[in-house]
Amino acid sequence: MSILNRTCASNFNLRSPTIPITIPRVVLAAPHGRSGKTTVALGLIAALGKRGFTIQPFKKGPDYIDPSWLTLAAGRPCRNLDLYFMSPQQLRYSFLLGCQGADLAIVEGAMGLFDGLDLKGTGSTAEIALALEAPVVLVLDATRMTRSAAALVQGFKQFDPRIKLAGILLNRVARPRHEEMLRCAIKEYTGLPVIGALPKDERYVIPDRHLGLVPAAENERLHGALEATRAAIEANVDLDHLLDIARTAPPITCEEVPKRIAPVGKVRLGVVRDRVFHFYYPENLEALTQAGAELIFIDSLKEANLPPVDGLYIGGGFPEIFAGDLEENSSLRRDIRRAAQEGLPIYAECGGLMYLARRIKYGERWYEMVGALPLDVQMEDTPQGHGYTFLKACPGNPFFAEGAGVKGHEFHHSRVVNLRREKVNFAYRVVRGWGIDGQFDGLLYKGILASYTHLFAPAHLGWAEKLVSWVAVQSGISSLK
């Protein structure tokens, strides 16, 4: 095996963005969702890691769950690439920043290769590949298909000539004869190489739930699927060929460097992060640290009391799945409720909003939650909000000027019920999305801002500094320096 240039990804000089930087990279795409991209990405990362390579994983879109598995496989945080939130220049900068110290980057796409926000495919995996000048390997679900696979591949090859479709990786192949027919048809009619073929095998299937895969942090017993996937990739994929494809990516530059986060002072910011609440972008936590926050991590299931903090950040997750355990930890809930009543600044997103409610109804039962917000939450069988959001800041928003546009995303099966509207204000008016009620999102109550919308720090430079300043002011810290 030819060795990658291990000096290419270390000592990046991002202060000189016009200097080309070499980083081998590949985008894993598919004709449609549920083709097995995540399974393939996990296996490739684990198998190449076993060979001694440091792999930097990326996920296209605002997803949290797939990145949790990619992070586990790579041993370094997966980062999100999203052209709804970032310009191509910002995306390249974020990509290069994440690749520091890595030998190879693997980008897992979302949905189908050309699926985007509109007829033009805006924000699609294909546009990510173009922005990164990265070759694409198409993961093809071969279920109940032989010669037709060649027609499908040929269509993807010709649809947009700007895309460098460099190889095919077959998934869910039934038997050796099936694989041989697929390989011969694709070679004969498209000329593209098939670099591997994974057989059908339930051992490397990660269970699904209403928002996608079960998150990696939630159940360690599921981690065996990762080992099975690695073994399957080693046995059935030409890793040397994949590396050769990744090396064809040209040196990359970023024409503009986004404004750097400016430290505004020191505050102790509690971050509730555990098996329940783990929907945090690495970029958000890093931005808060750079802005001066000392992050104090809190386990909502194990901590009996709230530690001394100046504010709280409660991200998304699955509080409904752990509702009984959260209810049982009454002492922490009581501490948070008391702190909120005394004006502790709390920023919460989706699952965090649910936790701050009086109660959650899941199935036929109501579970007691923190009780810091004058509302209840009820789980439904269908999504109540799903996709990108666009909001306008309302008066009194602590992070954005009145009327400012705010981009985010939401994906929740819960809805707010029994809200005492006379007691709350709203931080955002909904232009696109659903939020709390289709019109507003971001409940402002005492020192709390709780929304269904998740924000991505690189999309809103200055958000982290304003949150740190907000915590300081709300907590009565006289000086940030």
243 and 297 share one domain: no
100 and 243 share one domain: yes
- Residue 31 in any domain: the answer is yes
42 and 187 share one domain: yes
Q: Is the pLDDT of residue 5 over 80?
A: no
Report the C-alpha dihedral over residues 265, 269, 275, 280, rounded to 10 degrees: -40
- pLDDT confidence of residue 215: 61
With contact defined as beta carbons under 8 Å apart, do 170 and 142 qualify? yes
With contact defined as beta carbons under 8 Å apart, do 342 and 444 qualify? no
What amino acid is encoded at 128 in this protein? I
- pLDDT confidence of residue 206: 60
48 — phi, psi (to 5°)? Answer: -70, -35
173 and 30 share one domain: yes
196 and 224 share one domain: yes
First-to-final CA distance of the chain: 53
- Banded model confidence at residue 2, pLDDT cuts 50, 70, 90: very low
- pLDDT confidence of residue 255: 72
With contact defined as beta carbons under 8 Å apart, do 442 and 435 qualify? yes
172 and 45 share one domain: yes
- pLDDT confidence of residue 299: 98
183 and 283 share one domain: no
- Residue 261 in any domain: the answer is no
What amino acid is encoded at 99 in this protein? C
103 and 196 share one domain: yes
- pLDDT confidence of residue 403: 98
pLDDT of 123-145, one tens digit each? 999 999 999 999 999 999 999 99
- Residue 435 in any domain: the answer is yes
Report how far residue 285's alpha carbon sits from residue 111's, in angstroms, rounded to the nearest whole number: 27
Ranges 66-70, 205-209, 298-302, 357-361: which has the least confidence: 205-209
Domain count, the chain: 2
CA angle in degrees (0–180, nearest 5) for 34-39-42: 145
Taking the CB of residue 291, how many other CB atoms lie within 10 A of it? 25
Q: What is the mean pLDDT of residues 252-278?
A: 86
- Residue 367 in any domain: the answer is yes
- Residue 166 in any domain: the answer is yes
Q: For position 214, which CATH number holds? A: 3.40.50.300
pLDDT of 9-46, one tens digit each? 444 556 555 678 899 999 999 999 989 999 999 999 99
Ranges 82-96, 220-234, 282-296, 354-368: which has the least confidence: 220-234
Q: Is the pLDDT of residue 453 over 90?
A: yes
- pLDDT confidence of residue 276: 97
420 and 351 share one domain: yes
pLDDT of 277-302, one tens digit each? 999 999 999 999 999 999 999 999 99
The model scores a pTM over 0.95: no
Q: Is the pLDDT of residue 269 over 50?
A: yes
- Residue 4 in any domain: the answer is no
356 and 407 share one domain: yes
Residue of 8, 254, 350, 394 with catalytic role = 350
- Residue 295 in any domain: the answer is yes
- pLDDT confidence of residue 211: 45
Q: What is the mean pLDDT of residues 214-232?
A: 71
- Residue 8 in any domain: the answer is no
Mean pLDDT over the full length of the chain: 92
With contact defined as beta carbons under 8 Å apart, do 375 and 417 qualify? yes
Nearest alpha carbon to residue 372 among 265, 244, 257, 272: 272
Q: For position 397, which CATH number holds? A: 3.40.50.880
pLDDT of 224-256, one tens digit each? 778 889 999 999 999 999 999 999 999 998 876
Range of the domain at 129: 25-247
305 and 185 share one domain: no
Q: Is 350 a catalytic residue?
A: yes
- Banded model confidence at residue 223, pLDDT cuts 50, 70, 90: low
382 and 411 share one domain: yes
- Bridge partners (DSSP) listed for residue 55: 104
368: phi > 0 → left, psi -120 to 50 → alpha, else beta; which? beta
